[in-house]
Structure 1
C-alpha cells in the first residue's frame, strides 16, 4: 500500500490519554465520519466494531473508517491508555486494510506515534507537512504488519506467550516510572528467566535492549518536562533522579543531539 501525503489531512483531534475509570465510547447510533488510528499502550477492555467483538489489550491497534459503529469500555481497575490520531484520507486504498491488528512487537510504530504527538504539540515550522508524512508512515507500518499475517484470523494473532506478555508489562512499567532505577536481575526474576535470557527476549520483543529502553523512556520524559512543564534543567534532573545535572546534560545531549537547556528556549 502506497499513500500519497497530499491525500492525508491531519485534524486537531489527537492525544495520548489515560482513560477515566468510568470511560466508555458509544457511537453505534452516530457512526464515524472520518478515519481514526487508535492504539492501546496499556490496560484491558472490550470493543465492538460493526458487530464484531474484540478483546482490547496492550498493543491492540484499530483503523476506524467512515461509517464504522463502535462501542468500547474498559476495566476500571486496568484502565486503557490510548493514542488516537483522527484524520481525513482521500484514497480508497485504506478500505483494503484490516480494521484490527495486535502490534506487540513494533517499537518503530510506537516511536512514530510518539513523534506525531510531540510534533503536533510543539507546532514547530512545517509541523503540518510532517504530520502528514508521519500518518503515511504509520499506515504503511500498519499495512506491512497486516500483510505479514494474511492467512490467520486476527483474533488468533492475539494469542501470545506468557513470556512476551510479561515483558510488555515490564516495558509498560518502565515507561510509566522512568525515574526508577530498574535492575535487570530483578526484572528477570519477575519473568522467571535468567538475566541473560531476559535481556535477549526483551530486545527481541521490544526492539531494543532493556538498558537502552530505560534510558529512552527517561530521556523522553525529560524532553516533555523541559518543553511543557516550566521546570528548569536542574529540576528535571532531580525529578528523574539523575546523579547530578552534569550527568543528565551529557546523557541528554548524547541521545538527542542538543543540550537540554536548548529546549527551554524552543
Structure 2
C-alpha cells in the first residue's frame, strides 16, 4: 500500500510536468481550438471523478440510513463549493487570458497571481486524491485501492493539457522556456501537498469520511463551473470544448468502473 500510495500521490504532479514540457516542443501560442478542447476535456474528467469516485461512494457509505443517506453527500458538497468560493474571494489571483485580477487587492506580480489562480484550481484535485486513498486505506468497501489509483490517473491525464495551458501562455508572454516549464510544473505541486494534508487528517476524521468525499467533489465542481466551463464556452469553437468534455467524462467514467 505504501508504494502504491506514493505513486498515486505523485502521478498527478507528473501529468502536470508532462504537459508543461510541451513548451519545449511547441512554437508560438497555443491555438484557440486546442485550448478550448483541452479545457473541455479537463472539465469532463473532473465532473466524472467527482460523481463516480466521490459522491456515489459518499452516499453508499450511509446506505444504512435509508433516504437520509444522501444528506452527508449534500452537506459536504455544499461545504466544498462554499470553501472554494471563500478562497476565490479572498485570494488575489489572475486567470490566463485576462488582465483584471480577482480576489483581495494586492501588489503581487502578474506571474504570482497567475500561479495563485492555478493553486486554487489544483487544491481540490489534491484533496480528491488524498481522500480516496484515505478511504481505500481505511477499508471502506465502496472505495478500492484500484479505484483510488483510477482517480489519481484520471486527474493526471487532465493535468497534461492543464500544464500545457499554463506553460504555453507563460512562454508567449516573454518568459523563457525553462521558466515557463518550471512555473507550469510548480503549479501542480499543491496537489500532493493537499493530498498528504487530507491523509494526515483522515485518521482523526474517519467518521466524517462521507462529508470529506463530498467536500472534495464540491470543490472540484466549483472549479469546473466557475472557471473551466466559462473559459471553454466563450468566443468561437465552443463546440470543441463540448466534444472534449464528452471524451474526458467517458474516459474517467470507464477508468473508475474498470479499475474499481
Which structure has greater helix proportion? 2
- Same fold per superposition (TM over 0.5): no
Q: TM-score, normalised by structure 1?
A: 0.26
Greater RCO, 1 or 2 (C-alpha within 8 Å, sep 6+): 2
Which structure has greater strand proportion? 1
Q: TM-score, normalised by structure 2?
A: 0.27
Greater Cα radius of gyration, structure 1 or 2: 1
